[in-house]
Structure 1
Amino acid sequence: MTYLSTTYFGPVQWYQKLNRADECFMEGCEHYQKQTYRNRMVIATTGGLQSLSIPVTTDGSSLSRTPIRDVRISDHGHWRHLHWNALCSAYGESPFFDYYRDDLAPFFERRWDFLFDFNMALTEKMCELLDIAPRLRITEDYRPATDLSSAEAANDYRDAIRPKHPRPDSTFTPRPYYQVYRQKWGFQPNLSILDLLFNEGNEAVLYL
């Protein structure tokens, strides 16, 4: 049993956990946490790494006190247009971007109200494109790490997979693959799953 937080096109490590879990619980009852993959992805660009964050809001309460399923997506800054343009610019020359663009473009055209629902739709689409079929369930209540059994705690990645200060993970070793900007910047590990998909296509699953 594996526990994961919701993600916005999460990193390769996150999808490795999802793919390898016998059963995976997506945390739907926690409070929102800032500066995490819950509303952020990291991609490789000609200028280096770029973080793309979805602006979020609530109906009035503090974000840190808002259940993740109640966090709303804001239209501030035309982020959908900016994020899609960033992906087109970063990966337009990658081997498989054109192959997958029609599957992904609609997510940057339609307006979604809630971050959690948007991320779940993205996850389902990515599982389809990666050709993986995880047993995925949404938690019905929040169980802090201290309330988990030792076996459950060993597979609790809700706060372990994060952009800053990730927890050590002996079960994940990034395997190099082709990247558009590798010659310029070297191999960049554990980027958004989109980086792996656009560069490796149907062989992306072999890295999970």
Structure 2
Amino acid sequence: MKILLPIFYLPPISWFAFFLKEENEIVLEQYENFPKQTYRNRTNIYGANGRLSLIIPINHSSERVMKEIKISHRENWQKLHWKSIKTAYQSSPYFEFYEDRLQKIFEFETDSLIQFNLHALKIIQDIMKTEKAYSLNDEYVKVPSELNCREQFSAKKETEFEMEEYYQTFTDKMGFMKDLSILDLICNKGPETLTYLKNIYTK
């Protein structure tokens, strides 16, 4: 089945359940109008005080097409994001094992939000030892022929996906939080990440 997915920043676990499903042929959306307050420029991790949103600042200009969105470098957000991730996951079972590769996500220099997100996706695929192919669309189609998942994942409300609980760094303190960034799953489940993703039900 052909699936149209948005291009996210360190996407939530549910996004990867769609992306990696063997029978899904993935097309990534690069021509939509950039919607605010979505995973396109934010990701959620499990910090010491609960859910923590890391947001990539963007330049506000007349350009609204996702492909043209530029990252703002007025603040050292890459350093701040990496510091937050390190603080959140340094005591997780697998962080140290993947640390060097994860750090490379934040050493990548580009003004393009899409290029940054795709570079991060490449590193995550490398960590998970997957080589899932995908294509980029070449125009915006309001009602695409693919299964449209542009609005499937909300950063504002709790996910509808059922997910088995797994141990997270701060579970004892605040309980299980589902559908965080793929980083949460990788750092806590390590080599079992792919098996976990396959067991998430997607339509």
Normalising by the residue count of structure 1, what TM-score does the alignment of the two structures yield?
Answer: 0.88
CA contact (8 A) 1:131 1:205 kept: no
The equivalent residue for 1:101 is: 99
Residues in 2 aligned to 1:193 and 1:174: alpha-carbon distance in whole angstroms: 13
1:199 aligns with 2:188: yes
Which 4+ residue blocks in structure 1 deviate beyond 3 angstroms?
Answer: 165-168
Of 150, 159, 171, which residue of structure 2 is paired with 1:182? 171
Counterpart of 1:186, as a letter, is: G
Partner of 1:13: 14
Deviation at 1:134, TM superposition (A): 2.1
Superposition map of 1:1-208 within 5 A = 1-20=2-21, 21-58=23-60, 60-61=61-62, 66-144=64-142, 147-149=143-145, 152=146, 155-165=147-157, 168=160, 172-208=161-197
Are the aligned partners of 1:19 and 1:133 in contact in 2 as well (CA < 8 Å)? no
CA distance in 1, matches of 2:158, 2:188: 25
Q: Deviations over 1:83-129 (max 9, x none)?
A: 01101110010011111111021221232110001111111211121
**Aligned pairs, how many?**
195
Deviation of 1:3 after TM superposition, in Å, equals 0.9
| Alignment-mate amino acid for residue 170 of structure 2 | Y
CA distance in 1, matches of 2:20, 2:151: 18
Gaps of 5+ in 2: 198-203
CA contact (8 A) 1:43 1:195 kept: yes
1:167 Cα offset (Å): 7.6
- Corresponding residue SS for 1:51: strand
- CA drift of 1:76 comes to 2.5
Of all paired residues, the percent bearing the same amino acid is 33
> Aligned partners of 1:96 and 1:40: how far apart in 2?
23
Alignment partners' CA distance in 2, 1:72 and 1:198 = 29
Please report how far the alpha carbon of residue 148 of structure 1 lies from its aligned counterpart in structure 2 after TM superposition: 3.3
